[in-house]
C-alpha cells in the first residue's frame, strides 16, 4: 500500500487506472506502466512460489493444499482495500 501512495510509480499507477487517456496526454507511456505493473505482479507470484516451495513439498496436488490459504489472503486483501476506499 505504501508503494501506491508514497512513490512516484504509485502515483503513475493510480493515474493510469483512473484516467489512462489523460496520463497519456501528459506524456507518460501508459503501455509501459501497465507492462511494468504486470511484470511486478508476475515477479511477486514467482517469489511466492519459491517461498512456498521451501515450506511445503512440491507435488501435483500442492494446489489443493494451499488454495484455501491463498483464497483467504485475496479475500482479506480485497476487504481491506474496500474498507480503505470507503473512507
pLDDT at 38: 93
- For residue range 46-58, what is the model confidence (pLDDT) as tens digits? 888 888 777 777 7
- Reply yes or no on whether the pLDDT at 13 is more than 70: yes
pLDDT at 35: 94
Q: Describe the crossing of helices 8-25 and 30-55 by its angle, rounded to 10 degrees.
A: 150
- Reply yes or no on whether the pLDDT at 59 is more than 80: no
**Between 14 and 69, where is the model more confident?**
14
Residues 6+ apart with CB under 8 A from 30: 16, 20, 23, 24
Amino acid at each position: 500500500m505504501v508503494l501506491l501512495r508514497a512513490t512516484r510509480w504509485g502515483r503513475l499507477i493510480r493515474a493510469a487506472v483512473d484516467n489512462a487517456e489523460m496520463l497519456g496526454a501528459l506524456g507518460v507511456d501508459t503501455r509501459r506502466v501497465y507492462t511494468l505493473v504486470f511484470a511486478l505482479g508476475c515477479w511477486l507470484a514467482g517469489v511466492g512460489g519459491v517461498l512456498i516451495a521451501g515450506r511445503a513439498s512440491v507435488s501435483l496436488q500442492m494446489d489443493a493444499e494451499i488454495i484455501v490459504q491463498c483464497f483467504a489472503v485475496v479475500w482479506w486483501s480485497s476487504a481491506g482495500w474496500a474498507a480503505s476506499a470507503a473512507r
